[in-house]
Amino acid sequence: MTKRIDFQTDPSQYRHWRVEYDGPIANLFMDVDEDGGLFDGYQLKLNSYDLGVDIELADVVQRMRFEHPEVKVVVMQSAKDKVFCAGANIRMLGGAAHSHKVNFCKFTNETRNTYEAALADSGQNYICAIKGACAGGGYELALACNHIMLTDDSTSSVSLPEVPLLAVLPGTGGLTRVTDKRKMRRDLADVFCSVEEGVKGKRAVQWRLVDEIFPNSKFDDAVKERASDLAARSTKIEAAKGIALAPLQREFSDDAVTYSTVEVTFDRAAGRTRVLIKGPDGEAPADMAAFEELGDQAWILRCARELDDALLHLRLNEMELGLVEFQTQGDGAAVVAHEALMLDNADHWLANEVLKYWKRVLKRVDLTSRSLVALVEHGSCFAGPLAELLWAVDRSYMMLDEFDGDNRPTAAIALSAGNFGTYPMGNDLTRLQTRFLGTPEAVDAAHERIGAALEGQDAEDLGLVTFAYDDIDWDDEVRLFIEERASFSPDAMTGMEANLRFAGPETMETRIFGRLTAWQNWIFQRPNAVGEDGALQRYGTGVRGKYNMERV
């Protein structure tokens, strides 16, 4: 797969989804174009999906938040007869490299999380209206909605047939949401996940798989009524008009991707990449009216969008760059000022959306399977939301005192109120709380220094960076780290990071990415699933997978 996968799209380019807006209600139709697969070699029949379909869905969800803040209820449904969605396309999965399978699942999981959380974050409530077969990844699309309605007829059912049919797991949150969100009894879940044809009608309600069933003749009206009802009861912040998300300004070259605020450069020989984030080049907008006027050109939103796109580009298109070095450049006080406008107006719909988007982007950093390091150089601006990067990375190095011949402002970190609750990780703790699990008093000590310019020694003493080095040691220490990292097995790094980054409590979200995904990735390596005689290869041939029956 040498084709560059692009995560940027917009409604004019959609091939698989469309939205009909009706005041506070949006009807979201899945209508996958069979011939619109991201790669050759498979057809997307029966609303089955590949990464390209999910990239559009992620775009829909994002635009719903920024461009259509008037929407309170989104009704996810199929535009096809007799089928809601057949799940991830099996031929695509069968032909995909291990790394693509893993990254595909990660992105789809992240997308499910965005619309599941839209209710809590912004008061946008996704409900799912199922007519026809809703299988595998299709039911996982539904599970991430907050209310599931099903027609009560002979052809409409929900199912997770991955285990019996494909010898893999319902890995896009399916198993976890069945037990943790729907709180289905585990023995019934065991039965449900073993039955290819799924469950329908009353049993689907009794087993907690769906919330409501209606006969076909009454279904459309019931869905409309439920949507109106939920919209009427919504506590979403009122917003008449959204802001447009214009295409990102990007330039691709052989060894770089350049955005307006983010510059990504590749050192392929050394397997590393630098992500340089540039702080604001002007003062923060005076108020939210001015901010809305700027819209997607406001630094704090532009930067989030660009960083998000850069991360996805690295994940899917530059898989041999194992080390990501975060750097920043600019005025920390300006970063804090731009963030402060948002924090001070957190009850304004757009400020809320911007902050919640930063939360999502920073979670994307947490979940990026690369060794991450922050290099806090002179002239940098790790402050406010950018300071979160210091605790999202695996370790950080900071310049201490003056460096010979370097006349940039001395490296300093600036904490803001935002670092103490605005951007929780998937485990529902802040990055500082997670970092200081063993010494919670260190969070308080950091809190007392909000607003101060914390130079190297201070930052190291407060535990905000791993090491601070002076001019004499800096080059050697950073070089040694980079060389060391390049000598490690990338798989061991992935496993180590998946454990060390998520200390403390678990949530449904961390369980999906930690437990469920890890087991799925293991299965994605097992001959019973992916071997020549494995189930994924044999699917559709009429010959069942041939299994080695040894249990491990």
Q: CB of residue 248 vs a copy of itself: minimum separation in angstroms?
A: 24
Q: In whole angstroms, give the CA distance from residue 372 to residue 391.
A: 10
Residues 126-165 that bind a copy of itself (CB under 8 A): 162-164
Q: CB of residue 292 vs a copy of itself: minimum separation in angstroms?
A: 38
Q: CB of residue 85 vs a copy of itself: minimum separation in angstroms?
A: 21
Q: CB of residue 374 vs a copy of itself: minimum separation in angstroms?
A: 10
Q: Compute CA 252 distance to the chain's CA centroid, rounded to the nearest angstrom.
A: 23
Choose among 195, 199, 310: nearest CA to 259: 310
518 binds a copy of itself (CB under 8 A): yes
Q: Which is nearer to a copy of itself, 447 or 544 (CB)?
A: 544
Helix axes 299-317, 98-122, angle to 10 degrees: 160
Do residues 458 and 411 lie in contact, with contact meaning Cβ atoms separated by under 8 Å? Answer: no
Q: CB atoms < 10 A from the CB of 155, how many? A: 13
Q: In whole angstroms, give the CA distance from residue 368 to residue 263.
A: 18
Q: C-alpha distances in angstroms, 28 versus 48, 64, 72, 244, 263?
A: 16, 10, 13, 19, 35
Q: Which is nearer to a copy of itself, 316 or 350 (CB)?
A: 316
Q: CB of residue 125 vs a copy of itself: minimum separation in angstroms?
A: 21
444 binds a copy of itself (CB under 8 A): no
Residues 463-482 that bind a copy of itself (CB under 8 A): 463, 466
The tokens for 116 are: 């599941």
Query: Among 11, 439, 540, 543, which residue sits at the site for a copy of itself (rule: CB under 8 A)?
Result: 439
Q: Given the rule CB under 8 A, which of 210-218, 275-283, 380-388, 432-440 is the region that contacts a copy of itself?
A: 432-440
Q: In whole angstroms, give the CA distance from residue 180 to residue 178.
A: 6
Pairing between strand 412-413 and 251-253? unpaired
Residues 323-352 that bind a copy of itself (CB under 8 A): none
Q: CB of residue 377 vs a copy of itself: minimum separation in angstroms?
A: 18
User: Pattern of binders to a copy of itself over 78-107, x per CB under 8 A?
Assistant: --------------------xx--xx----
117 binds a copy of itself (CB under 8 A): no
| The CA-based dihedral angle spanning residues 467, 468, 469, 475, taken in that order and rounded to the nearest 10 degrees | 60
Q: CB of residue 67 vs a copy of itself: minimum separation in angstroms?
A: 34
Q: Which is nearer to a copy of itself, 280 or 545 (CB)?
A: 545
Q: CB atoms < 10 A from the CB of 547, how many? A: 15
504 binds a copy of itself (CB under 8 A): yes
499 binds a copy of itself (CB under 8 A): yes
- Determine the size of the site formed for a copy of itself (CB under 8 A): 92
End-to-end CA distance of the chain: 33
Residues 264-293 that bind a copy of itself (CB under 8 A): 271
**Ramachandran assignment for 379, one of left (phi > 0), alpha (psi -120 to 50 degrees), beta (any other):** left
Stated as kind and residue range, the H or E segment containing 222 is helix 216-232
Query: Among 4, 183, 202, 218, which residue sits at the site for a copy of itself (rule: CB under 8 A)?
Result: 183
Q: CB of residue 459 vs a copy of itself: minimum separation in angstroms?
A: 12
Q: In whole angstroms, give the CA distance from residue 140 to residue 126.
A: 13
Q: Given the rule CB under 8 A, which of 54-62, 116-124, 223-231, 388-396 is the region that contacts a copy of itself?
A: 388-396
Residues in the chain: 552
Long-range contacts of residues 472-480, Cβ cutoff 8 Å, at least 24 apart:
474/397, 474/399, 474/400, 474/403, 477/397, 478/375, 478/397
Q: Which is nearer to a copy of itself, 302 or 511 (CB)?
A: 511
Q: In whole angstroms, give the CA distance from residue 92 to residue 97.
A: 10
Query: Among 369, 416, 433, 537, which residue sits at the site for a copy of itself (rule: CB under 8 A)?
Result: 369
Query: Among 63, 208, 274, 449, which residue sits at the site for a copy of itself (rule: CB under 8 A)?
Result: 208
447 binds a copy of itself (CB under 8 A): no
Q: CB of residue 244 vs a copy of itself: minimum separation in angstroms?
A: 35
Q: Which is nearer to a copy of itself, 451 or 504 (CB)?
A: 504
